Amino acid sequence: MLIGYARTSTLEQKHSLAAQVETLKDHGCERVWSEQVSSVAIRKALTDALEFVREGDTLVVTKLDRLARSVRHLGEIVELMEARKANLRIMDLNLDTSTPTGQLMLNVLGSVAQFERQIMLERQREGIQKAKEAGRYKGRKPTARAKAGEVKALLEAGRTKRAIAAELGISERSVYRIATQAPC
């Protein structure tokens, strides 16, 4: 069975997601999971698709970057697929892990993708450092600290830390940090 997975990072990419789903269905995928979420976030649809895969199935994606966020993550997915005796197909690369050549190419391309990402992050760090030296970079505003008063008021009102985090759009860890800070 061919199983499709489609993903875009942002809601603005709705048409891209629909195009991916249509391409996967045209390719013969009987089941297609899709989601709009960053590659570094928890991807429920990917987890569900991987749990659905059975022996002899093939997971199909339109592009490699829709599937894995790093070589390590790609390796984990490939290991899972191998353990289930299933295959992976990446359409834009015409790559299919059911062949030895496909397995080799997947590893090579994954390494190149990770290298490119590391180079990009290095350039970003260099740019930030230069901006700091020039006094133009201040960093992002601390969102949780700005809400410390609200957090403390909600704690005093008896709200749970989890509920406070959800309501204010900050992490539970930030709520705990604010809760344990000594008063100023």
96-141 pLDDT tens trace: 988 899 888 888 887 887 788 789 889 999 999 999 999 888 777 7
Residue 60 — very low, low, confident or very high, per pLDDT cuts 50/70/90? very high
pLDDT number for residue 26 = 96
The DSSP secondary structure of 96-134, one letter per residue, reads: ETTSHHHHHHHHHHHHHHHHHHHHHHHHHHHHHHHHHHT
pTM of the predicted protein model:
0.60
The neighbouring-strand residues paired with 58 are 2, 87
Residue 9 is among the residues annotated as catalytic for this protein: yes
The residue-averaged pLDDT of 11-17 equals 73
> 180 pLDDT exceeds 90?
no
Residue 19 — very low, low, confident or very high, per pLDDT cuts 50/70/90? very high
Which residue among 9, 16, 39, 70 is the active-site one?
Answer: 9
